[in-house]
Amino acid sequence: MNKSIQISADFDGGNIKVINSSSPNNIELEINKDHKSDFFQWFYFRVTSKKNTSHTLKILNAGSSAYVPGWEEYQAVCSYDRKNWFRVETSFNGKELEINHTPKQDSFYLSYFTPFSHERHLDLIAQSQSSEICSLKSLGKSFDGKDIDLLRIEKDTNKLNVWMIARQHPGETMAEWFVEGFLKRLLDSTDSLSTKVLAQANFYVIPNMNPDGAFRGHLRTNAKGINLNREWENPSLETGPEVFYTRAEMDKVGVDLFLDIHGDENLPYNFVAGSEGNISYNEQIANTERIFKESFLKATSEFQTEFGYELDKPGEANMTVATNAIAHRFNCMSYTLEMPFKDNNNLPSKEFGWSAQRSQLLGRDMLSPISAVLDHLEK
Ligand code: ZN
């Protein structure tokens, strides 16, 4: 093996296995499965080699990953400083993902999407509390001993309770970038819309539901290989303490609006998915959904309603999914928001694709539809 090329992923969120790194023109890699699971798609690693040299990296097992269509029209993200991430030439032949890049520095990082580190998560939790209306409640510990952090933005007199959770699927890092943008606006005392909604509702925000999976470099599961978004019908401390603690707190506080933030591997659009398959779905929830969507469309051209998941048929909802379970339990509007790993094809950016920055801005802009829903619920 040529020692001049080194590839490492032994850091927060890292994931890659080196098969062959003898030549810059044929670096062969595999993505590791999530621990105790068959899911894999998330990768994040550093290459140390020679600048101004053309590199070809192949992910050999891409064709058997969790979401194979996710590689079509997909471009990997690259960074030198782990702050600025840009897209690099990537192609998929149905079997292998090939990434081509001629680095300007000896060492560079490649990832499935812009990472959101545990350190950044801790900073977000700490900085949010510089607002005097925001407090931290640690709901409990994960299997790896990490805190399940809930930010509470409360004023005693409020009756409505808005919940937002993100990163049940840890590889969907855009979800925490989104929450960062959302909180920045919500806690900005000079923002008039924030002032308005904070007079109407308390907010309960969990920026990272799955800190173990995030740190371990998983796509979809926690430390025991469990998909948290299939745990909501009967949450258990044995398999998903993250969901168990969260739902227990929801029972204490109450939920009037629930938003679950995700990323979708396949579809190059932002979209929402609701609880229309629930037996308890009703006209009131349908109305609230309409108000939310209309307001979101006005607030940002990054949102659209043409492309999305097929609607569940009445009575056919999967009740293990958070959105359906919470809508049913609290008789409230619940939405899953999906952002793309690829790009928003209505407003494509060749250089950056969908990005951390755009996720933050979408989080900022979601305050408008939340405000519209609160006005409606107060009536
Ligand atoms: Zn997801």
Provide the residue-wise pLDDT of the chain in tens; the chain has 379 residues.
445 899 999 999 999 999 999 999 999 999 999 999 999 999 999 999 999 999 999 999 999 999 999 999 999 999 999 999 999 999 999 999 999 999 999 999 999 999 999 999 999 999 999 999 999 999 999 999 999 999 999 987 778 999 999 999 999 999 999 999 999 999 999 999 999 999 999 999 999 999 999 999 999 999 999 999 999 999 999 999 999 999 999 999 999 999 999 999 999 999 999 999 999 999 999 999 999 999 999 999 999 999 999 999 999 999 999 999 999 999 999 999 999 999 999 999 999 999 999 999 999 999 999 999 999 999 8
Active site residue 338: yes
Q: Which residue has the tokens 């192609």?
A: 91
The beta strands (E) that lie in 24-116 are given as 27-30, 44-48, 55-59, 77-79, 86-87, 90-92, 97-101, 107-111
The neighbourhood of ligand 1, an ion, using CB within 5 A, equals: 169, 172, 262
Question: Taking the domains of the chain in order of start, what are their residue ranges?
Answer: 6-111, 118-378
For residue 189, report the distance from its CA to the centre of ligand 1, in Å. 31
Q: Which two tokens stand for residue 122?
A: 């801790």
Q: Are 258 and 266 in contact (CB under 8 A)?
A: no
Res 270: pLDDT: 98
Res 3: pLDDT: 59
For residue 231, report the distance from its CA to the centre of ligand 1, in Å. 13
Length of the chain: 379
For residue 360, report the distance from its CA to the centre of ligand 1, in Å. 17
Strands 134-141 and 55-59 come out as: unpaired
Residue of 30, 172, 265, 338 with catalytic role = 338
Which CATH code for domain 118-378? Answer: 3.40.630.10
Which CATH code for domain 6-111? Answer: 2.60.40.3120
For residue 262, report the distance from its CA to the centre of ligand 1, in Å. 4
Res 211: pLDDT: 98
Alpha carbon distance 184, 178 (integer Å): 10
Helix and strand numbers (H, E) in the chain are 9, 17
Res 1: pLDDT: 46
